[in-house]
Amino acid sequence: MAKLKNGAWVLVADGEKALFLVNDGDERNLDLRVIRKDEQDNPPTRDQGTHRPGSVQAIGGPGVSAMDDTDWHELAKERFAIELADLLYKRAHAGRFNQLVIVAAPQILGVLRASTHATVAEKLVIEIPKHLTNQPLDEIEKLVASAVAEAA
């Protein structure tokens, strides 16, 4: 039966904000406290790109095809998730937590999952694909407690 012990970590993240929470309660009553908050300034792609998309001459015929513009906004979100995975590895390797719950927007959860080191994966209790970074702490506690109870 999975239960979050005192000292368990909960990461709540999207592509621009991350809350690192620790359970100051016990296995029956979660009491999540913020221990770290990370944010990145990530303006829309239109404010980050400097050039128009390129084009390429079609092979074997007349015409030109436009190339897709780079989505700088999405790339920044992915880099942020990779940085979070690296930070989790460093903290897990240092023995800062023994249990971890990740609550993240689905796309960010996918990047985190792909970037998570085995040391962190061993401590993972559950992944919750939800966007909760702007929710109050008591709502996050209820969702995490419910998800952990269901996973048990």
Q: What are 34-70's pLDDT values in tens digits? A: 999 998 765 555 555 555 554 445 565 565 555 456 6
Could you tell me the CATH superfamily of domain 9-42+71-151?
A: eRF1 domain 2 (3.30.420.60)
What was the pLDDT predicted at 49? 52
Of 111, 50, 102, the C-alpha closest to 79 is 111
What was the pLDDT predicted at 63? 57
Cβ neighbours of 20 (radius 10 Å): 21
Residues 91, 121 contacting (CB under 8 angstroms): no
pLDDT, average across residues 84-99: 96
Is the model's pLDDT at 15 over the cut of 80? yes
What was the pLDDT predicted at 74? 79
Instruction: State the Cα–Cα distance between residues 48 and 76, nearest whole angstrom.
Output: 10
- pLDDT > 70 in the chain, percent: 78
What was the pLDDT predicted at 1? 46
Of 101, 129, 72, 78, the C-alpha closest to 4 is 101
Q: 32-39 and 64-66 as β-strands: parallel, antiparallel, unpaired? A: unpaired
pLDDT, average across residues 72-92: 90
Instruction: State the Cα–Cα distance between residues 20 and 45, nearest whole angstrom.
Output: 27
Instruction: State the Cα–Cα distance between residues 17 and 77, nearest whole angstrom.
Output: 9
